[in-house]
A and B are shown apart, each in its own frame.
Chain A
């Protein structure tokens, strides 16, 4: 009897397929037809297979495998458990849509040839898959670095522009600083044994060293996730990358950092201390607020989305923090609730953020414009993209019945239980944090109104926007896949939580068990407190809409009346009179002024060509990064003194070293 292929083998098969596709791309780097018609769609199918395998593995036993690769005597250990499987599911399901979109996206003559893009892209997703599977520190770091490098090449695919090279460098720098920290964390965790995660689970660290390991992990994975104050690479790198890559980075790569953090916190470390949770919570809150406030004042659509990614990572970190707090006090079911909200938000964010990034990619291709101030009215020209982006916009704004609402609601539910904490200050202070979360969520809605309104609604702000064309077939297919995911995740939360329960059960030893009251109602703790029925919600919305439509129809007898809009008594309206991106963000800029480092140039009444200019920058650049850069530069200048350019001097160095060593040996 042939053995049934295990999920692990299936996933490795997909990884091999991706690598083969990448190599095929390299062999024919300029053959766009091959890349877009065969390689990327095949990659999408592979991603679907991977998602299916991961879904299968979620409820099963953990599977281990030792790959005969790596250094002699140091093979790669792989393990597929519930946590890995969940993130693999996320990766596969989202990548399927992004790959489909990418099939139609990459064009000739834009930076790196399509075949090479195909290689980097597939190496990137393959390495992310292997990061999620890795079961020893060595394999983890190798794949982690592969991921960083391949994404670096993707970010700099338009490397002829200096600003993009700069963004790529910043990204690489922070990625590596983070990687060093992760490496040190593993160095602490492995105790005296070897570097397999198996061994790390056994090691009992003293609380002090466990705390250091935790701090290292938080720093390292936080750098990858875009946690404050390590977020600076994110708004630079995401806009620089091609849109499918931004989508992939934001949707999946940031989640690998969350995966790593969860892996270290709940799997490798044997204890959790309550104040770790507070640290994560505070950092998460700061990140969320910072991200959303900055995204409100952006005038570049991809930067706006990048800052919004920071905000969502903040939410996710808040969830992780709550989980740690609950878990450390032994409140298992509440910890399960918080972790469920976290994981749910991970997959939600993956869906809606990739959808929006891809939509901006379509807009970018159609208009060659990223600045919000030069877009507008695209819903008439690009109805497919506009309507699909609307789904993503509503989802990210956290409106029911779409998916963003469910996870934010669950997170707030978890917050509502924090007064039960057996700690006098925590149970008073943390509920306050809920207000901050709610504020960030509301501001996120504001940001999304700005994004959608300025790009798709109103009148075109430029002449050439009239020539914009809708997305092609493959791009549309990718967008539809992701939009459908947003709806499905929103409408069937009980089923999704059933899937997530496998993870919470494995990590915390307790599941949420939200299906207790049936598939219709999502009831996190008890029906007496709160429950949510998305389907009912959807039905009510549809019913109200239908009733309104019918009422209007019968009231007006089906007449459609077209009339010029009310013009405030000023008939000569043009597109310049619409609310602009800057104008829309202005109240936020005013209210949250201390967040920004602003420079404004106001025109005087006598200017012949009046200009209004405002630059909004990040304080952290000036408070943290530039001083650091200066110190580094000063240190390097000292080191440069060693470089004299004279061979005799260099020989002298070796000579003196030799002499000193000889004297030491004595």
Chain B
């Protein structure tokens, strides 16, 4: 009964995660997007903690701590600072209108569940039923990246994709080895720094963070 209670909580958290992914997909405002991202990180931390507590996998506590520090505190703070400096708090228009994006998102979720079904049957973890959700989160985050034309939301989409991957790892195999997790965390940090530099460069060059300006770089 104890286990199933834990798994119920995990399923609840997974559902929240999926909901947040949809919310991010439809969110137009950058500030709210960052907050949603932080919230997603927080949910991820909670779910990792629950998995760690219920299965006794101690290294997952470290993962949870890392996730909390990085994705709930540091990255949102960096992003907040960034948009304040770049002064891009306003709305972002999406490339495809929101209802269509939602529909595509739903199709993706169905697809993800179907794809994940055989894998989750193989996995012996208590979190196996959430694998489909994790995959859906990855795909939705990817879609978020595709549908935004501004640089900052794209980066947030990229980070959210990493969240989904992390969740998939916890749900399929109780997390990756610690070294790999550290590596990915470092990657995210470095990627963030590099992208930050790029933001300033892009804005300096084009007076805007609209990625569509980069089309001019194409060779004719």
Partners in one complex: yes
Q: B189-220 CB contact bits vs A (8 Å, 1 = yes)?
A: 00000000000000000000001101111110
Q: In the bound complex, how far is the Cα of B218 from the Cα of A651, in angstroms?
A: 16
Nearest Cβ distance between residue A644 and chain B, in whole angstroms?
7
Residue B72 interfacial (CB < 8 Å) = no
Residue B99 interfacial (CB < 8 Å) = no
State which of A644, A651, A663, A666 has its C-beta within 8 Å of the C-beta of B146.
A651
Inter-chain contacts of B217 with A (CB < 8 A): 645
Inter-chain contacts of B95 with A (CB < 8 A): 648
A666 touches B115 (CB 8 A): yes
Residue B147 interfacial (CB < 8 Å) = yes
Residue A602 interfacial (CB < 8 Å) = no
B115 touches A647 (CB 8 A): no
SS class, residues of chain B in contact with chain A: helix
Q: In the bound complex, how far is the Cα of B114 from the Cα of A666, in angstroms?
A: 9
Q: In the bound complex, how far is the Cα of B13 from the Cα of A569, in angstroms?
A: 113
Query: A643-B218, A655-B142 known; A648 and B115 CB under 8 Å?
Result: no
Across the interface, name the chain A residue whose C-beta is closest to B95: A648
A665 touches B215 (CB 8 A): no
Residue A438 interfacial (CB < 8 Å) = no
Q: In the bound complex, how far is the Cα of B146 from the Cα of A652, in angstroms?
A: 6
Across the interface, name the chain A residue whose C-beta is closest to B114: A666
Q: B108-140 CB contact bits vs A (8 Å, 1 = yes)?
A: 000100110010000000000000000100010
A647 touches B142 (CB 8 A): no
Query: A643-B218, A644-B215, A645-B217 known; A651 and B145 CB under 8 Å?
Result: yes
Query: A658-B142, A662-B111, A662-B115 known; A648 and B147 CB under 8 Å?
Result: yes
Interface members, chain A 632-666 (any B CB < 8 Å): 643-648, 651-652, 654-655, 658-659, 662-663, 665-666
Query: A643-B218, A659-B111, A666-B118 known; A648 and B142 CB under 8 Å?
Result: no
Across the interface, name the chain A residue whose C-beta is closest to B149: A648
Inter-chain contacts of A658 with B (CB < 8 A): 139, 142
Query: A662-B115, A663-B115 known; A646 and B142 CB under 8 Å?
Result: no
SS class, residues of chain A in contact with chain B: helix
State which of A645, A652, A654, A666 has its C-beta within 8 Å of the C-beta of B218.
A645
Q: In the bound complex, how far is the Cα of B139 from the Cα of A320, in angstroms?
A: 62
Inter-chain contacts of A646 with B (CB < 8 A): 211-212, 214-215
Query: A659-B111, A666-B115 known; A645 and B142 CB under 8 Å?
Result: no
Q: In the bound complex, how far is the Cα of B214 from the Cα of A666, in angstroms?
A: 37
Across the interface, name the chain B residue whose C-beta is closest to A665: B115
Q: In the bound complex, how far is the Cα of B149 from the Cα of A648, in angstroms?
A: 7
Nearest Cβ distance between residue A486 and chain B, in whole angstroms?
52
Across the interface, name the chain B residue whose C-beta is closest to A646: B215
Inter-chain contacts of B216 with A (CB < 8 A): 645
Across the interface, name the chain B residue whose C-beta is closest to A663: B115
Nearest Cβ distance between residue A642 and chain B, in whole angstroms?
11
Q: B77-106 CB contact bits vs A (8 Å, 1 = yes)?
A: 000000000000000000100000000000
Q: In the bound complex, how far is the Cα of B216 from the Cα of A242, in angstroms?
A: 41
Inter-chain contacts of A647 with B (CB < 8 A): 154, 211, 214
Query: A662-B111, A666-B115 known; A648 and B215 CB under 8 Å?
Result: no
B142 touches A644 (CB 8 A): no
B215 touches A645 (CB 8 A): yes
Q: In the bound complex, how far is the Cα of B212 from the Cα of A648, in angstroms?
A: 9
State which of B145, B146, B214 has its C-beta within 8 Å of the C-beta of A645.
B214
Inter-chain contacts of B115 with A (CB < 8 A): 662-663, 665-666
Residue B143 interfacial (CB < 8 Å) = yes
Across the interface, name the chain A residue whose C-beta is closest to B218: A645
Q: In the bound complex, how far is the Cα of B118 from the Cα of A657, in angstroms?
A: 20
State which of B135, B139, B211, B219 has its C-beta within 8 Å of the C-beta of A648.
B211
Inter-chain contacts of A651 with B (CB < 8 A): 142, 145-146
Nearest Cβ distance between residue B18 and chain A, in whole angstroms?
17
Inter-chain contacts of B149 with A (CB < 8 A): 648
Q: In the bound complex, how far is the Cα of B115 from the Cα of A177, in angstroms?
A: 43
Nearest Cβ distance between residue A103 and chain B, in whole angstroms?
45
Interface members, chain B 29-48 (any A CB < 8 Å): none
Q: In the bound complex, how far is the Cα of B218 from the Cα of A218, in angstroms?
A: 41
Query: A651-B142, A665-B115 known; A644 and B218 CB under 8 Å?
Result: yes
Inter-chain contacts of B142 with A (CB < 8 A): 651, 654-655, 658
Nearest Cβ distance between residue A550 and chain B, in whole angstroms?
77
Nearest Cβ distance between residue A660 and chain B, in whole angstroms?
11
Task: Write the residues of chain B forming the contact surface with A, with a CB cutoff of 8 angstroms.
Answer: 95, 111, 114-115, 118, 135, 139, 142-143, 145-149, 154, 211-212, 214-219
Known: A645-B216, A663-B111. 5 other contacts (CB 8 A): A645-B214, A646-B214, A648-B148, A654-B142, A666-B118
Instruction: List 10 A-B residue pairs with CB atoms under 8 Å apart, sorted by A's residue number.
Output: A645-B215, A646-B214, A647-B154, A647-B214, A648-B147, A654-B142, A655-B143, A658-B139, A658-B142, A659-B111
